[in-house]
């Protein structure tokens, strides 16, 4: 069994790395069902990623959803038709990208292959 932190070789049933002392358990203590419910209900806001400890990507995921919508609401009264079409196209691309990201994350949660911030599978 290899340590994901220092890549040292350890005996098969070891619980901690002999070199760096890091836990060798590969399953996260986060609930897969909780992450799945958050992913399905609040996935576009990155709630499931924040729950499993991936705060940076949770913030990016939230921003790709909130910023385009806020821009549409804030700038709509001042738009000409051609600018509105361009803006709606960019917002659509951002929201579709966010939706694809959520679908991939939910698929990983269902299959049990998503990892938390410490690279442990969210499988409980």
The tens digit of pLDDT for each residue in 106-124 reads 999 999 999 999 888 898 8
Which pLDDT does position 2 carry in this prediction? 79
Q: What are phi and psi of 9, to 5 degrees?
A: -85, 135
Which pLDDT does position 48 carry in this prediction? 97
- How many separate domains does the chain show? 2
Predicted model pTM: 0.77
Based on the fold, state whether residues 97 and 63 are members of the same structural domain.
yes
The alpha carbon of 81 is separated from its chain's Cα centroid by a whole number of angstroms, namely 35
Q: Mark the ranges of the chain whose per-residue pLDDT is less than 50.
A: none
In a domain, 43, yes or no: yes
Give the three-class secondary structure for 2. Answer: strand
Q: Which of 96, 100, 105, 97 is nearest to 37 (CA)?
A: 105
Which pLDDT does position 55 carry in this prediction? 97
In a domain, 121, yes or no: no
**Residue-range definition of the domain harbouring residue 10:** 1-25
Tokens 């960019």 correspond to 90
Could you give the count of Cα atoms lying within 13 Å of 4 in the half-sphere of its Cβ?
A: 12
Which pLDDT does position 31 carry in this prediction? 94
């Amino acid at each position: 069994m290899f340590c994901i932190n220092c890549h040292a070789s350890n005996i098969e049933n070891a619980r901690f790395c002999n070199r760096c002392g890091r836990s060798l358990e590969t399953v996260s203590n986060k609930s897969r069902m909780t992450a799945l419910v958050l992913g399905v209900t609040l996935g576009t806001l990155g709630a499931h990623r924040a729950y499993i400890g991936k705060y940076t990507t949770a913030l990016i995921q939230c921003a790709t959803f909130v910023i385009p919508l806020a821009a549409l609401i804030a700038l709509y009264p001042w738009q000409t038709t051609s600018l509105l079409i361009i803006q709606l196209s960019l917002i659509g691309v951002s929201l579709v990208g966010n939706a694809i990201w959520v679908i991939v994350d939910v698929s990983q949660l269902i299959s049990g292959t998503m990892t938390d911030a410490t690279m442990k599978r969210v499988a409980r």
